[in-house]
Amino acid sequence: MNIGLDFDGVISDCAKLKSEGAKRLYGVDIPPEKFKKEIVLGEKYLTEEQYLELQQTIYETREVGFLMEPVAGVLHFLPRLIAGGHTIRIITSRDGEKLNIAKEWSSRQGLELDFIGVGGGTSKAPAAAGLDLFVDDDLDKLEPLVGVVPHLFLFSWGYNTHLAEKNIARRIHSWEELHNIIEMLHRA
């Protein structure tokens, strides 16, 4: 199968790093499960200026970016998918130095992956054409893929549990669950 994956929130756990960064930079405790822009700003944890500064620090500073942790299970199940003959393409909103940091971080984790950086605010649909399946933690980024990619999955985190997937995507809760679904679809 041709599988597309988002990077942040599917491969790397950037919410935990953002939470730690907010504490370090602003002395604010924001649980990782609340680290989505609309929640952080809506609940007035940070100002928009602070949020953007934190984003820049996390995504564009190599020393900080390399502190990201892998999403639980990714280092076990992603290599198994590759060994099983599946083609993996990372389609991320990162570009420029942010993309370079993600690529190097992945290599340091032992994951040699094909990355496509589309840039922030840009649809992933053109890059996702021809995929059988795509996984993202952002429902807004999955919606434009309806009709482009047959199987869409929303990786579930505390910051997106309030969203109704409707007819856009199927919610998954772990890399093990994703691996099992992919294997089932592959056998069908």
DSSP per-residue letters across 95-144: -HHHHHHHHHHHHHTT---EEEE--TT--SHHHHTT-SEEEES-HHHHGG
Blockwise average pLDDT, block size 10, the chain, 188 residues:
97 93 94 92 96 93 92 97 96 96 96 95 96 97 97 95 91 98 92
Around 19, how many Cα atoms within 13 Å sit in the side-chain half-sphere? 17
Interior CA angle at 173 toward 82 and 78, to 5°? 10
**pLDDT number for residue 173:** 97
Inter-residue contact 35 to 51 (CB < 8 Å): no
pTM of the model: 0.94
The pLDDT of residue 188: 81
Say what the pLDDT of residue 83 is. 95
What burial class does residue 9 get, using C-beta atoms within 10 Å of its C-beta: 0-12 exposed, 13-18 middle, 19+ buried?
Answer: buried
